[in-house]
Structure 1
Amino acid sequence: MFLTRITKLQNQIPSQETYPFSIPAIKNMNEIELTKRITFLVGENGSGKSTLLEAIADKCDFHTAGGGRNNLYEVHEAQSALGGYIRLSWMPKVTNGFFLRAESFYQFASHIDDIDTTGYRDYGGKSLHHQSHGESFISLFLNRFKGKAIYLLDEPEAALSPARQLAFLRILHDLTKNEDCQFIIATHSPILLGYPDATILNFDDGCIAETKYEETDHYQITRYFLENRQRYLEELFKEDSPDD
C-alpha cells in the first residue's frame, strides 16, 4: 500500500453549492481509508467517481487528461476543480505512476508520438495510434506499468473486449502481487469488479460507501439479464397501453 487515506478539506471549500462540490457523494465525503491494493469506484455517470479520481491524479502531479508526472501537453479543460481541496496520506509516498483517462487517450497517444525517442519502448514497439484501441491499452499496461507505483484508471474497459478484460485481470494480479503496485479504478465492468479481495466503493445514494461485489448494480443487472434475457427484453420493449 502507498496511498492510505483521502481527506476532503471541508473548511477550505468556497461553496458546497458549486460544481463539483455540489455532487452529492463529493458533498458528503469527509475521509476515505484505502486498505487494499486494488480499489474500485462504482456508480452512475455523474456520481463523482471520475471527479475524485481526477483530483487524486492532480495531487499526484499526473497529467489530469492522462499520463504521468513527465507528460506535459495541452488539452482543453484538463484541470481538476477538486484537486486543491483534498489531502492524500501516504505510507510511503511514491511519485511513480500513471493516470489513464479513456476519453482523452487519443490526445495522450498523439503526445507520445511527438516526444518518443525510444522506438515506443514503453508501448509495445509501435505508435499507440498504429494499434487498435484495445491493443494500445494492453500495450500500455504491459510495457509502461512498472513496480512500486500507483495507477489511476478511469473506465479502462472502454477499449477492452470481455476477453481482454480477463487478460487485464491477470495483469492486475501480476502487478499487485509481484511488482508492488496499487490501483484505483473507476469502472462499470462487472468483469473487472470481480477481481478477488478488492475494495469496492459505491458513489450512488449520495455518499461513498463500501459494498460487496454481489450487491453492485453492475453484477445484479448483468446477472438478471443473462439469466432472464427474453423476459427482460419483453419488459424493456413493452409498449404502454393506449388510454381508454
Structure 2
Amino acid sequence: MPPLTAKPYLRSIHIDPLAELDLQRYPFNIPAVRDMGVLLPHPDVTFFVGENGAGKSTVLEAIAVALGLPAEGGTRHVHRNQQETSPLHGVLRLAKGWKRPGSSYFLRAESLFNVFTYLDELGPGGGPSMHLRSHGEAFMDTMLGFRGDGLYLLDEPEAALSPTRQLAALALIDRLVKEGAQFIIATHSPILLAYPNAKICLFDGSGVTETAYEDTEHYAVTRDFLNHYPRRLQQLLDGE
C-alpha cells in the first residue's frame, strides 16, 4: 500500500446542489460560476484562466473566504475584511485532505496595499513596513515567507511583478511545491502558466474546463504577437 501524502490539502470544490441560487444575480449569473461543476485541484499547482469577468477571481476569493481567509488577503490572523464579498463562499463545499496545511495565505495584488497598512496599524513586531518596499518587492517578500507545508491562493500575482520577477516567482513556487505546498492561482501570465504539469482550468461561457498550456489564449496571443509584432502593430494601429 503506497504511503499517505499530505497533499492535496484541498481536494475538491463544488456548489452545494441543494443551495437555492438566484441565477439572475451576481455571481450566479456568470456562466463559469453557475456551471462550474466539481473542481479537482492539482496537488501541486492549479491555474484559473479566462477573460476579465469570467469568474476566476470570484471563485478564488470564495474559496479563500470558505477556508477562513480574509477576502482582502492575508492569513487567518488578518482580521481586516472591508472588501465586499459575493455570496458564493456560503454555498461552496470544500473537500479537504487528511492533513491540514501548516499555513495558508490569500495573496491578491489589488488589495495588498491595504493589508500592509493594516499590519502597520497593529504596531511593530513584524519587521520594517512593507510600504518601504516597491509593490513588486513587497509581493515577493510576502511569498518568500511562505512555508513548504502550506496552501496558497494567488489572485493575478503578475499585476505586481515584472517579467523577471515572474520568473523568480515561478522558481519559488517550484521550490515550495517540492517542499509540500499546494497553489491555486488565477492569472493572465503566460510565464506563470508555463509551470510544468500544472492543471489549467479555463473559465468561459460553457463553464470550467481543463485545457493545455499551448491551447490557452494567453500563450497563443503572446507567441503570435512576439513573433510578428511589426505586422500586428500595423494591423492594430493602422487598421490594415
User: What TM-score range do you get, normalising by the shorter chain?
Assistant: over 0.9
Offset from partner CA, 1:41-100 (integer Å, 9 cap, x none): 0000000000000010011100011111110114242x2320001100011252520001
Give 1:14 shift: 3.0
Q: SS of the counterpart of 2:204?
A: coil
Contact 1:64–1:80 (8 Å) recurs in 2? no
Give 1:206 shift: 2.6
Contact 1:58–1:80 (8 Å) recurs in 2? no
Q: Distance in 2 between matches of 1:104 and 1:16?
A: 28
1:64 aligns with 2:71: yes
Partner of 2:80: 73
Q: Distance in 2 between matches of 1:239 and 1:198?
A: 38
* Structure 2 CA distance for partners of 1:36 and 1:159, relative to 1, 3 Å: same
Q: Distance in 1 between matches of 2:124 and 2:147?
A: 19
* Structure 2 CA distance for partners of 1:167 and 1:185, relative to 1, 3 Å: same
TM-score between the two structures when normalised by the length of structure 2: 0.92
* Structure 2 CA distance for partners of 1:25 and 1:133, relative to 1, 3 Å: same
Contact 1:3–1:93 (8 Å) recurs in 2? no
Deviates more, 1:90-99 or 1:65-74: 90-99
Offset from partner CA, 1:190-242 (integer Å, 9 cap, x none): 000001110000002331000000000000000000000011111111348xx
1:148 aligns with 2:155: no
Letter in structure 1 aligned against 2:139:
F
Offset from partner CA, 1:116-137 (integer Å, 9 cap, x none): 54242xxxxx211000011001
Partner of 2:200: 200
Alignment of 1:104-123 (within 5 A): 104-120=111-127
Q: Distance in 2 between matches of 1:21 and 1:10?
A: 13
Partner of 2:5: none
Of 20, 42, 51, which aligns to 1:44?
Answer: 51
Deviates more, 1:87-96 or 1:43-52: 87-96
Partner of 1:123: none
1:98 aligns with 2:99: no
Contact 1:10–1:30 (8 Å) recurs in 2? no
Q: Distance in 2 between matches of 1:73 and 1:7?
A: 27
Contact 1:188–1:218 (8 Å) recurs in 2? yes
Q: Distance in 2 between matches of 1:166 and 1:196?
A: 13
Q: Distance in 2 between matches of 1:26 and 1:14?
A: 11
Q: Distance in 2 between matches of 1:150 and 1:98?
A: 7
Partner of 2:188: 188
Partner of 2:4: none
Aligned length: 232
Letter in structure 2 aligned against 1:150:
L
1:137 aligns with 2:158: no
1:224 aligns with 2:231: no
1:31 aligns with 2:48: no
Q: Distance in 2 between matches of 1:116 and 1:188?
A: 35
Q: Distance in 1 between matches of 2:192 and 2:21?
A: 37
TM-score between the two structures when normalised by the length of structure 1: 0.91
Letter in structure 2 aligned against 1:222:
T
Q: Distance in 1 between matches of 2:12 and 2:178?
A: 21
